[in-house]
A and B are shown apart, each in its own frame.
Chain A
Amino acid sequence: MKTILVDAVDAFVIETENGFEIFSEMRELLDTYPNKKIILTGANDEQYKKFGLDKMPYKVFTLKHDPEKTDPKYYETMLAHFNLNADDVMYFEHNPEAVKIAESVGIMSYHYNHEKQDLDALKKFLDENL
Protein backbone atom coordinates (compact mmCIF):
# COMPACT_ATOMS: atom_id res chain seq x y z
CA MET A 1 0.00 0.00 0.00
CA LYS A 2 1.43 3.36 -1.02
CA THR A 3 2.33 6.07 1.46
CA ILE A 4 0.74 9.46 0.79
CA LEU A 5 3.21 12.35 1.02
CA VAL A 6 1.31 15.44 2.09
CA ASP A 7 2.38 19.02 1.41
CA ALA A 8 2.34 21.04 4.62
CA VAL A 9 1.83 24.80 4.42
CA ASP A 10 -0.70 26.02 1.82
CA ALA A 11 -2.15 22.52 1.56
CA PHE A 12 -2.69 20.51 4.77
CA VAL A 13 -1.96 23.57 6.90
CA ILE A 14 -3.60 26.83 5.91
CA GLU A 15 -3.41 30.34 7.27
CA THR A 16 -6.66 31.55 8.84
CA GLU A 17 -7.60 34.61 10.84
CA ASN A 18 -6.71 32.53 13.91
CA GLY A 19 -3.25 31.68 12.59
CA PHE A 20 -2.11 28.45 10.93
CA GLU A 21 -4.55 25.56 11.24
CA ILE A 22 -5.14 22.13 9.74
CA PHE A 23 -7.37 22.33 6.65
CA SER A 24 -10.09 20.17 8.18
CA GLU A 25 -11.79 19.17 4.92
CA MET A 26 -8.48 17.91 3.57
CA ARG A 27 -7.85 15.94 6.74
CA GLU A 28 -11.31 14.38 6.45
CA LEU A 29 -10.54 13.41 2.87
CA LEU A 30 -7.13 11.92 3.70
CA ASP A 31 -8.53 10.02 6.67
CA THR A 32 -10.84 8.13 4.31
CA TYR A 33 -7.71 6.39 2.97
CA PRO A 34 -6.11 3.73 5.17
CA ASN A 35 -2.69 4.53 3.69
CA LYS A 36 0.14 5.85 5.84
CA LYS A 37 0.62 9.61 5.48
CA ILE A 38 3.76 11.70 5.95
CA ILE A 39 3.69 15.49 5.93
CA LEU A 40 6.58 17.08 4.02
CA THR A 41 7.84 20.53 4.93
CA GLY A 42 10.96 22.63 4.81
CA ALA A 43 10.18 24.39 8.07
CA ASN A 44 12.90 25.29 10.55
CA ASP A 45 12.40 25.04 14.31
CA GLU A 46 10.72 28.43 14.59
CA GLN A 47 8.41 27.80 11.64
CA TYR A 48 7.65 24.30 12.91
CA LYS A 49 5.90 25.77 15.94
CA LYS A 50 4.47 28.75 14.07
CA PHE A 51 2.74 26.47 11.54
CA GLY A 52 1.55 24.07 14.26
CA LEU A 53 3.54 21.20 12.80
CA ASP A 54 4.18 19.91 16.32
CA LYS A 55 0.47 19.09 16.52
CA MET A 56 -0.06 17.09 13.35
CA PRO A 57 -1.99 13.81 13.15
CA TYR A 58 0.66 12.28 10.84
CA LYS A 59 4.46 12.06 10.91
CA VAL A 60 6.19 15.26 9.78
CA PHE A 61 9.46 15.34 7.84
CA THR A 62 11.62 18.44 7.47
CA LEU A 63 15.16 19.22 6.41
CA LYS A 64 14.90 22.80 7.71
CA HIS A 65 15.51 24.40 4.30
CA ASP A 66 18.76 22.47 3.76
CA PRO A 67 17.95 21.56 1.10
CA GLU A 68 14.54 22.90 0.07
CA LYS A 69 11.78 20.81 -1.51
CA THR A 70 12.90 22.12 -4.87
CA ASP A 71 16.10 20.06 -4.56
CA PRO A 72 16.11 16.34 -5.50
CA LYS A 73 18.27 15.65 -2.45
CA TYR A 74 15.30 16.53 -0.24
CA TYR A 75 13.29 13.61 -1.63
CA GLU A 76 16.24 11.21 -1.78
CA THR A 77 16.99 11.94 1.89
CA MET A 78 13.33 11.58 2.86
CA LEU A 79 12.94 8.24 1.09
CA ALA A 80 16.14 6.91 2.68
CA HIS A 81 15.01 8.16 6.11
CA PHE A 82 11.77 6.19 5.93
CA ASN A 83 13.34 3.25 4.04
CA LEU A 84 10.98 3.80 1.12
CA ASN A 85 11.40 3.58 -2.64
CA ALA A 86 9.98 6.16 -5.02
CA ASP A 87 7.46 3.56 -6.18
CA ASP A 88 6.15 3.21 -2.62
CA VAL A 89 4.83 6.76 -2.37
CA MET A 90 2.67 9.37 -4.06
CA TYR A 91 2.84 13.05 -3.33
CA PHE A 92 0.70 16.13 -3.64
CA GLU A 93 2.22 19.58 -3.41
CA HIS A 94 1.15 23.14 -4.21
CA ASN A 95 4.55 24.34 -5.48
CA PRO A 96 4.88 23.43 -9.19
CA GLU A 97 8.68 23.47 -9.04
CA ALA A 98 8.69 21.02 -6.13
CA VAL A 99 6.28 18.80 -8.07
CA LYS A 100 8.64 18.66 -11.04
CA ILE A 101 11.66 17.92 -8.84
CA ALA A 102 9.84 15.13 -7.00
CA GLU A 103 8.80 13.64 -10.35
CA SER A 104 12.42 13.78 -11.49
CA VAL A 105 13.39 11.35 -8.72
CA GLY A 106 10.57 9.01 -9.71
CA ILE A 107 7.87 10.02 -7.25
CA MET A 108 4.35 10.13 -8.67
CA SER A 109 3.42 13.71 -7.93
CA TYR A 110 0.35 15.87 -8.30
CA HIS A 111 0.14 19.64 -8.39
CA TYR A 112 -2.54 20.58 -5.86
CA ASN A 113 -4.32 23.82 -6.70
CA HIS A 114 -4.14 25.59 -3.34
CA GLU A 115 -5.87 28.74 -4.58
CA LYS A 116 -9.02 26.79 -5.41
CA GLN A 117 -8.47 24.37 -2.51
CA ASP A 118 -9.55 21.84 -5.11
CA LEU A 119 -10.21 18.76 -3.01
CA ASP A 120 -12.44 17.17 -5.65
CA ALA A 121 -9.53 17.08 -8.08
CA LEU A 122 -7.20 15.83 -5.35
CA LYS A 123 -9.65 13.03 -4.44
CA LYS A 124 -9.92 12.07 -8.11
CA PHE A 125 -6.16 11.87 -8.39
CA LEU A 126 -5.80 9.79 -5.22
CA ASP A 127 -8.63 7.45 -6.22
CA GLU A 128 -7.15 6.85 -9.65
CA ASN A 129 -3.59 6.31 -8.54
CA LEU A 130 -3.49 4.75 -5.09
Chain B
Amino acid sequence: MKTALIIHGAYGNPNENWIPWLKTELEKFDYEVAVPAFPTPENQNLESWLDVASPYLEKLNDESVLIGHSIGAVFLLSVLEKLNAPVKTTIFASGFLNDLGNDDFDKINRIFYEKDFDWQRIKQNSQNVFVFHGDNDPYVPLSESENLAKNLGTNVKVIGNGGHLNKSAGFDKFSELLEVIT
Protein backbone atom coordinates (compact mmCIF):
# COMPACT_ATOMS: atom_id res chain seq x y z
CA MET B 1 0.00 0.00 0.00
CA LYS B 2 1.32 3.41 -1.01
CA THR B 3 0.81 5.82 1.89
CA ALA B 4 1.28 9.56 2.23
CA LEU B 5 1.39 11.69 5.35
CA ILE B 6 0.86 15.46 5.07
CA ILE B 7 1.79 17.78 7.94
CA HIS B 8 0.31 21.29 8.24
CA GLY B 9 2.00 24.30 9.85
CA ALA B 10 1.70 26.34 13.04
CA TYR B 11 -1.74 27.88 13.61
CA GLY B 12 -2.77 25.66 10.69
CA ASN B 13 -5.11 22.78 9.96
CA PRO B 14 -5.58 19.94 7.46
CA ASN B 15 -7.91 22.02 5.28
CA GLU B 16 -5.55 24.88 4.52
CA ASN B 17 -3.52 25.84 1.49
CA TRP B 18 -2.85 23.03 -1.02
CA ILE B 19 -3.39 20.16 1.41
CA PRO B 20 -6.97 19.18 0.38
CA TRP B 21 -6.00 19.42 -3.31
CA LEU B 22 -2.87 17.29 -2.82
CA LYS B 23 -4.82 14.65 -0.89
CA THR B 24 -7.33 14.37 -3.73
CA GLU B 25 -4.60 14.20 -6.37
CA LEU B 26 -2.58 11.53 -4.53
CA GLU B 27 -5.69 9.40 -4.03
CA LYS B 28 -6.04 9.35 -7.82
CA PHE B 29 -2.64 7.62 -7.82
CA ASP B 30 -3.88 5.05 -5.26
CA TYR B 31 -2.17 6.60 -2.26
CA GLU B 32 -3.76 6.19 1.16
CA VAL B 33 -3.38 9.76 2.37
CA ALA B 34 -3.37 10.82 6.03
CA VAL B 35 -3.78 14.47 6.97
CA PRO B 36 -3.92 14.60 10.77
CA ALA B 37 -4.81 17.72 12.74
CA PHE B 38 -1.94 18.61 15.04
CA PRO B 39 -2.42 20.72 18.19
CA THR B 40 -1.58 24.38 17.46
CA PRO B 41 -1.00 26.91 18.85
CA GLU B 42 -2.09 25.49 22.24
CA ASN B 43 -0.15 22.38 23.19
CA GLN B 44 2.05 22.62 20.09
CA ASN B 45 5.19 20.69 20.97
CA LEU B 46 7.26 17.83 19.66
CA GLU B 47 5.82 15.25 22.05
CA SER B 48 2.17 16.07 21.29
CA TRP B 49 2.82 16.10 17.54
CA LEU B 50 4.65 12.77 17.65
CA ASP B 51 1.71 11.32 19.61
CA VAL B 52 -0.67 12.40 16.83
CA ALA B 53 1.65 11.12 14.10
CA SER B 54 2.45 7.81 15.76
CA PRO B 55 -0.39 5.64 14.32
CA TYR B 56 0.41 6.89 10.82
CA LEU B 57 4.13 6.20 11.15
CA GLU B 58 3.32 2.51 11.62
CA LYS B 59 1.87 2.45 8.09
CA LEU B 60 4.95 3.91 6.42
CA ASN B 61 6.95 1.74 4.04
CA ASP B 62 9.39 2.05 1.14
CA GLU B 63 6.59 3.39 -1.08
CA SER B 64 5.52 6.11 1.34
CA VAL B 65 5.70 9.87 0.90
CA LEU B 66 6.04 12.48 3.66
CA ILE B 67 5.09 16.10 2.98
CA GLY B 68 5.43 18.98 5.43
CA HIS B 69 4.76 22.72 5.20
CA SER B 70 6.51 25.33 7.34
CA ILE B 71 6.87 23.94 10.88
CA GLY B 72 5.33 20.75 9.47
CA ALA B 73 8.42 20.41 7.32
CA VAL B 74 10.65 20.90 10.34
CA PHE B 75 8.65 18.27 12.20
CA LEU B 76 9.45 15.74 9.46
CA LEU B 77 13.09 15.83 10.55
CA SER B 78 12.10 14.35 13.90
CA VAL B 79 9.84 11.83 12.14
CA LEU B 80 12.67 10.64 9.92
CA GLU B 81 14.95 10.31 12.93
CA LYS B 82 12.49 7.88 14.50
CA LEU B 83 11.95 5.56 11.52
CA ASN B 84 13.55 2.13 11.35
CA ALA B 85 13.24 1.83 7.58
CA PRO B 86 13.37 4.41 4.78
CA VAL B 87 10.37 5.96 3.07
CA LYS B 88 10.40 6.65 -0.65
CA THR B 89 10.22 10.46 -0.67
CA THR B 90 10.17 13.34 1.78
CA ILE B 91 9.20 16.89 0.79
CA PHE B 92 10.00 19.97 2.84
CA ALA B 93 8.07 23.13 1.87
CA SER B 94 9.07 26.49 3.38
CA GLY B 95 11.10 24.89 6.15
CA PHE B 96 13.57 26.48 8.53
CA LEU B 97 16.01 25.71 11.34
CA ASN B 98 16.14 29.00 13.23
CA ASP B 99 13.95 31.62 14.89
CA LEU B 100 12.12 33.83 12.41
CA GLY B 101 12.07 36.95 14.58
CA ASN B 102 8.38 36.67 15.38
CA ASP B 103 7.54 35.65 18.92
CA ASP B 104 4.02 34.47 18.01
CA PHE B 105 5.70 31.70 16.04
CA ASP B 106 9.16 31.31 17.52
CA LYS B 107 7.94 30.51 21.03
CA ILE B 108 5.82 27.56 19.85
CA ASN B 109 8.09 26.44 17.00
CA ARG B 110 11.46 26.57 18.72
CA ILE B 111 11.26 23.15 20.34
CA PHE B 112 11.04 21.56 16.87
CA TYR B 113 14.43 22.82 15.67
CA GLU B 114 16.49 23.65 18.75
CA LYS B 115 18.02 20.16 18.89
CA ASP B 116 20.95 18.26 17.49
CA PHE B 117 19.60 16.42 14.49
CA ASP B 118 21.09 13.10 13.39
CA TRP B 119 21.40 14.20 9.77
CA GLN B 120 22.96 10.91 8.69
CA ARG B 121 20.00 8.94 9.99
CA ILE B 122 17.54 11.48 8.54
CA LYS B 123 19.12 11.14 5.10
CA GLN B 124 19.25 7.35 5.33
CA ASN B 125 15.53 7.20 6.10
CA SER B 126 14.34 8.84 2.89
CA GLN B 127 15.35 7.58 -0.55
CA ASN B 128 14.48 10.92 -2.14
CA VAL B 129 14.40 14.38 -0.61
CA PHE B 130 13.01 17.60 -2.06
CA VAL B 131 13.15 21.10 -0.57
CA PHE B 132 10.83 23.84 -1.90
CA HIS B 133 10.90 27.54 -1.05
CA GLY B 134 9.34 30.70 -2.45
CA ASP B 135 11.78 33.36 -3.64
CA ASN B 136 9.74 36.04 -1.87
CA ASP B 137 8.60 34.27 1.29
CA PRO B 138 7.47 37.09 3.62
CA TYR B 139 8.07 35.04 6.75
CA VAL B 140 10.95 32.62 6.12
CA PRO B 141 14.18 33.68 4.37
CA LEU B 142 15.28 31.53 1.44
CA SER B 143 18.58 31.01 3.30
CA GLU B 144 16.69 28.83 5.78
CA SER B 145 15.74 26.28 3.14
CA GLU B 146 19.23 26.53 1.64
CA ASN B 147 20.65 25.58 5.02
CA LEU B 148 18.11 22.78 5.41
CA ALA B 149 18.86 21.46 1.92
CA LYS B 150 22.60 21.53 2.58
CA ASN B 151 22.13 19.37 5.66
CA LEU B 152 19.96 17.00 3.62
CA GLY B 153 22.48 16.78 0.78
CA THR B 154 20.23 18.34 -1.83
CA ASN B 155 19.39 21.69 -3.45
CA VAL B 156 16.42 24.00 -3.01
CA LYS B 157 13.77 24.04 -5.69
CA VAL B 158 13.02 27.78 -5.70
CA ILE B 159 9.47 28.73 -6.64
CA GLY B 160 9.27 32.16 -8.30
CA ASN B 161 6.80 34.52 -6.59
CA GLY B 162 5.92 31.57 -4.34
CA GLY B 163 5.65 33.51 -1.10
CA HIS B 164 5.19 31.18 1.84
CA LEU B 165 3.78 28.57 -0.55
CA ASN B 166 0.41 29.10 1.09
CA LYS B 167 -3.06 30.11 0.01
CA SER B 168 -2.27 33.81 0.31
CA ALA B 169 0.47 33.32 -2.27
CA GLY B 170 -2.03 31.56 -4.54
CA PHE B 171 -1.08 28.04 -3.54
CA ASP B 172 -4.37 26.24 -3.15
CA LYS B 173 -2.71 23.87 -5.63
CA PHE B 174 0.99 22.97 -5.81
CA SER B 175 1.69 21.19 -9.09
CA GLU B 176 5.49 21.26 -8.68
CA LEU B 177 5.13 19.23 -5.54
CA LEU B 178 2.85 16.64 -7.14
CA GLU B 179 5.27 16.25 -10.05
CA VAL B 180 8.15 15.10 -7.85
CA ILE B 181 5.93 12.51 -6.16
CA THR B 182 4.33 11.00 -9.21
Residues of A within 8 A of B (CB): 94, 96-97, 99-100, 103-104, 108-111, 113, 115-116, 121, 124-125, 128-129
Q: Are B12 and A116 in contact (CB under 8 A)?
A: no
Cβ-neighbour of A96 out of B101, B105, B161, B167 (below 8 A): B105
Cβ-neighbour of A104 out of B15, B41, B104, B105 (below 8 A): B15
> Whole-angstrom distance from the CB of B70 to the nearest CB of chain A?
11
> Whole-angstrom distance from the CB of A119 to the nearest CB of chain B?
13
User: What is the CA–CA distance of A130 and B72 in the complex, to the nearest angstrom?
Assistant: 29
Residues of the B chain whose Cβ atoms lie less than 8 Å from the Cβ of A97: 11, 41
User: What is the CA–CA distance of A129 and B13 in the complex, to the nearest angstrom?
Assistant: 24
User: What is the CA–CA distance of A104 and B136 in the complex, to the nearest angstrom?
Assistant: 22
Digit string of B156-182 for contact with A (CB within 8 Å is 1, else 0)?
000001000011100000000000000
Residues of the B chain whose Cβ atoms lie less than 8 Å from the Cβ of A116: 101-102
Residues of the A chain whose Cβ atoms lie less than 8 Å from the Cβ of B12: 100
Interface size class of B (residues with CB under 8 A): 10 to 19
Kindly state whether residue B138 has any CB partner on chain A within 8 Å: yes
Q: Are A100 and B168 in contact (CB under 8 A)?
A: no
Kindly state whether residue B10 has any CB partner on chain A within 8 Å: yes
User: What is the CA–CA distance of A97 and B42 in the complex, to the nearest angstrom?
Assistant: 11
Residues of the A chain whose Cβ atoms lie less than 8 Å from the Cβ of B105: 96
Cβ-neighbour of A103 out of B10, B41, B102, B166 (below 8 A): B166
